[in-house]
Structure 1
Amino acid sequence: MMRKTVFSPQPQDPMISERDSEPPHPQVDKEPQGAAVSGKVELKKKVTLLRGTSIIIGSIIGAGIFISPKGVLKNSGSVGMSLVVWVTCGVLSLFGALSYAELGTCIKKSGGHYTYILEAFGPQMAFMQLWADMIAIRPAGLAVIALAFGRYILEPIFMPCQVPEVAIKLTTAMGITAVMYINSMSVSWTARLQIVLTFIKLLAMLLIAIPGMYQLVQGETKNFQNAFQVDAVQVSSLPLAFYSGMYAYAGWFYLNFVTEEVDNPERTVPLAICISMVIVTVWYTLTNMAYYTVISAHELLASRAVAVTFAEKLMGNFSLAVPLFVSLSCFGSMNGCLFAFSRMFYVASREGHLPEVLSMVHIRRHTPIAAVIVLYPVTLLILFLGDIYSLLNFLSFQRWLFIGVAVVGLIYMRYTRPDMPRPFKVPIFIPAVFSFTCFFMVFLSLYSDPVNTGIGFAISLTGVPAYYIFIVFDSKPKWLLRLTDFVNRSLQIVLEVVPAEN
């Protein structure tokens, strides 16, 4: 993509030099100015092992484990089998995470799925994945997490009454605005907040797991008797239990979206992934065991929020704190997800698949501010006008489709690019098993809900004409080129962003 109309941070550009010669506004420039103004304008390597681990754990643990793990129990048919499913899903997710660890250490670019599909299968397939993410999956997914945040942060205030929908949506909008502001202002702020929220999530799970294990030691095992006795559930429903479990573990791939900002990625990426997946699998299993020490299988299936029911039975008035923990957990997921997928838009713009302003960096804060806020209007529009949950049903299977394609790309590059440096290499059966799991879940979606899945697939196929119209077709009208040039230059001036220096 042509870059002639883009301002550069060189002194000979009068517009840039004149603006930069002015002292920064004291209320805007909060970070230490010496480090921000000096040196290259680029994304800094500020993601350490601790921060990387917190990004993964914080993105995986959302509202699901606290609110409703009943999808696994309902489709597995028994308490014992549900615990087996949780552990197995953790192992399968670890296989996917290890495959991504190899991809992240041999392809040291940010962008996650998009980058790996681009490297393995070329720009058209990568653009289709980007298109599906851009038009629906990411904004709808962010809105859903934010809605859970808005609902549960207001629940203690309105108890025992129902929370008004208008209040939920307004609070949700404020939560989305806050997380986008933090991500725009500073990578360090974002990473530190993610660490704090991750520890809060683990503390919340600890407050459930320890009392639950104490009850177990005290002999509260009645709900574990005949643990594998199946009650009127067909074996054909078991794959749906794995689908629910795998969805609860989704998020292990987000560190790969920010590879270029990871300090020593050859070591940090595999370590952070392994540590995170072990922690999450252990805590998920212990938390579910704790639930069953107090709540029977029938009570769990009837509960709207399992953690709240558990706390009401065991903790009395302290149960009012559980919705607050759930809301903070959702805020952490919003923060980690936005930090990650904004880098995918940044890389896609750098590759010429999105407007060039999205690949620019703030001159002082060193954040890709345009890539962070690009989904803000679409997310708010979907929040107030759209049917978010239907949209997610249409397109959720696409996540596993493209993750499966990316992991197949790992296997494909083992044969087509055998000389590629691979500092971290996994046995071939690991990506083979995981890619099979992904495609099986895609097939399961087509089988269990062919209408919604078919609509989602049709929406994604609109990426094919979009690719040829926006990317391949060169003979664009001059008025469109002038408009694009004007918008890019105007946004660059307003957002104070310039191309990153290599």
Structure 2
Amino acid sequence: MENASENVKSEIETKEQAVFLRKKISLFRAISLLIGTIIGSGIFISPKGVLINSGNVGTSLVIWLACGILSMFGALSYAELGTSIKKSGGHYIYLLETLGPLPAFVRLWSEFIVIRPAITAFVGLSFGRYIVEPFFAPCQAPVLAVKLLTAVGVSLVVYVNSCSVNWTARIQIILTFSKLMALGLIIVPGMMALAQGRNENFQNAFNSSSVTLDRIPLAFYSGMFAYSGWFYMNFLTEEMINPERNIPLAIISSLIIITILYLLANVAYYTVLTADEVLASGAVAVTFGDRTLEGFSSVIQILVALSCLGAITGGLFAASRVFFVASRENQWPALFSMIHIRHHTPLPAVLLMYPLIILMIFIGDLYGLLNLNSFPRWLFMGLVTFGLIRHRYTHPDLHRPFKVPIIIPGIFTVMCLFIVVTSLYSDPINTGIGCALTLSGVPVYYLIVCQPQRPAMCRKALYLFTVKLQMLMKVVQQEIVTY
């Protein structure tokens, strides 16, 4: 009996000392991570993008609601995938399991070369602008100052993600409350003004002469960008406590809360500001704060900046797991499936995206980065939900703890592909660049990933280089299987 208890104790101690990604994401942390990641710069900047492309106030509000419903359809589909396919990795692992290695690798490649650097740079530049502009008001802030501060903020986020999962989760909870405070400072004054009868900006809200159908897909891009992030929980499946229960609960509850908040925030904007004032504003939330909070408008700027920082934190936290899983699946260099021996974080995968993010911060502009990123992101979301439909028929006996009606992934797939195709017509330059960068992953896959045997000299050089970096970063392969 004593030997048995000693063996159990020894096994527990061995597991505590082992290097692997621990299950540290509870339901509360999951909801905080999702809300904190979804509410980034989008609701504070995207209203202008939605309005300018939708043509009028009424259509823009309909698009905000439609984006929320469409996001919910996608979220429900991903919840089914997350509870039936137990691996982390989100889009990548679902494409690998449902449509095969080529689409999975191209999605991985686009995450590395386009999606993650562009989206992080976009949100980061929003952070930099909101922090710097108060110091130069009423003049415009120097572009270089905004970019330098953005680079500092992103560097800080990368450092925290590299050091601790617990600290990343705690910081995300704090930043989530700052986002909700920022939205509260917009919604409450707006609803008070509406209650006082200020509804003149909603008269003739559906002016059909101002609507151009070819611009509607770009309006959806801006709106869907503000909702994007509901899929990040699927990147962390192996680190979730009780994923079969908590993934659907976290995704659904977070999206319901955010859809309501976004609609209220937009109604508040248009109650206080005219459509022309929204279009003329470089940062809608700041213009709103100047009008309603007078001397306290800088509070909104600080809270919005913290909101952007939270979105970057959650995005990098989740995206690093994609490269970690891809390396484990032998589609990415082995170094990126290694974990820090003390911090238990996928350090190489976290650091991988840093150089390209910094590059895009210094060469990119806000709306160009948004459209550049949107093509591959929504293309592959549509392919993932199409893969779910296919997976239903190829694996009919697979246990699915959470299952949605087939019409839901069907509608989401059609809408994603429709938006992607029509956007090539609406903004051919940025969308075309995003398309070309995405498709560049196809030759990379066949030239590098599919090579059955590399020359011995190349293998030896790669092995030595990996060992050197492994020693420098103090990382090792995961010692316990977590899926």
Match of 1:194 in 2: 172
Over 3 Å counting, the alpha-carbon distance change for 1:217 and 1:182 in structure 2 is same
Shift in Å, 1:488 = 1.0
1:356-375 pair list within 5 angstroms: 356-375=334-353
What SS does the aligned partner of 1:361 have? Answer: strand
- Residue identity opposite 2:345 in structure 1: T
Match of 1:80 in 2: 58
What SS does the aligned partner of 1:364 have? Answer: coil
Match of 2:198 in 1: 220
Paired with 2:218 and 2:453, the residues of 1 have a C-alpha distance of 48
- What is the TM-score of this pair, normalised by structure 1? 0.89
Larger mean CA deviation between 302-311 and 415-424 belongs to 302-311
Paired with 2:369 and 2:418, the residues of 1 have a C-alpha distance of 21
Over 3 Å counting, the alpha-carbon distance change for 1:236 and 1:119 in structure 2 is same
- What is the TM-score of this pair, normalised by structure 2? 0.93
Residues 429-466 of structure 1, C-alpha deviations (whole Å, 9 max, x = no match):
11000011100111111221334433332322221221
- Residue identity opposite 1:254 in structure 2: Y
Match of 2:272 in 1: 294
Match of 1:135 among 109, 113, 117: 113
- Residue identity opposite 1:150 in structure 2: G
Match of 1:469 among 411, 436, 447: 447
1:162-311 pair list within 5 angstroms: 162-311=140-289
Contact 1:136–1:391 (Cα < 8 Å) also in 2? no
Over 3 Å counting, the alpha-carbon distance change for 1:394 and 1:478 in structure 2 is same
Shift in Å, 1:220 = 1.2
Paired with 1:164 and 1:242, the residues of 2 have a C-alpha distance of 31
Over 3 Å counting, the alpha-carbon distance change for 1:285 and 1:385 in structure 2 is closer
Match of 1:378 among 348, 356, 359: 356
Residues 272-299 of structure 1, C-alpha deviations (whole Å, 9 max, x = no match):
0011101110000000111112111222
- Residue identity opposite 2:357 in structure 1: T
Residues 3-57 of structure 1, C-alpha deviations (whole Å, 9 max, x = no match):
xxxxxxxxxxxxxxxxxxxxxxxxxxxxxxx999933211011111111112211
Residues 183-219 of structure 1, C-alpha deviations (whole Å, 9 max, x = no match):
1111010011111111110111011101111111111
- Residue identity opposite 2:89 in structure 1: G
Task: Report how many aligned residue pairs link the two structures.
Answer: 469
Paired with 1:172 and 1:35, the residues of 2 have a C-alpha distance of 43
Give me the CA root mean square deviation. 1.9
Match of 1:350 in 2: 328
Over 3 Å counting, the alpha-carbon distance change for 1:235 and 1:357 in structure 2 is closer
Paired with 1:373 and 1:236, the residues of 2 have a C-alpha distance of 39
What SS does the aligned partner of 1:263 have? Answer: coil
| TM superposition outliers: structure 1 runs of 4+ over 6 Å | 34-37
Contact 2:119–2:373 (Cα < 8 Å) also in 1? no
Paired with 2:301 and 2:454, the residues of 1 have a C-alpha distance of 52
Contact 1:67–1:308 (Cα < 8 Å) also in 2? no
Structure with the larger helix share = 2
Match of 1:481 among 459, 467, 481: 459
Shift in Å, 1:137 = 2.0
Residues 223-278 of structure 1, C-alpha deviations (whole Å, 9 max, x = no match):
12233333432345444433322222111111111111011000100000011101
Match of 2:124 among 146, 150, 162: 146
Residues 56-81 of structure 1, C-alpha deviations (whole Å, 9 max, x = no match):
11121111211340222233333223
Shift in Å, 1:170 = 1.8
Paired with 2:13 and 2:118, the residues of 1 have a C-alpha distance of 37
Match of 1:30 in 2: none
Shift in Å, 1:391 = 5.7
- Residue identity opposite 2:70 in structure 1: L
Contact 2:127–2:306 (Cα < 8 Å) also in 1? yes
Over 3 Å counting, the alpha-carbon distance change for 1:68 and 1:451 in structure 2 is closer
Residues 314-355 of structure 1, C-alpha deviations (whole Å, 9 max, x = no match):
111111222212211110010000000000000000011111
Gaps of 5+ in 2: 1-11
Contact 1:45–1:260 (Cα < 8 Å) also in 2? yes
Paired with 2:18 and 2:41, the residues of 1 have a C-alpha distance of 39
What percentage of residue pairs aligned between the two structures are identical? 56
Contact 1:145–1:334 (Cα < 8 Å) also in 2? yes
Contact 1:36–1:366 (Cα < 8 Å) also in 2? no
Gaps of 5+ in 1: 1-33
Larger mean CA deviation between 309-318 and 403-412 belongs to 309-318
What SS does the aligned partner of 1:38 have? Answer: helix
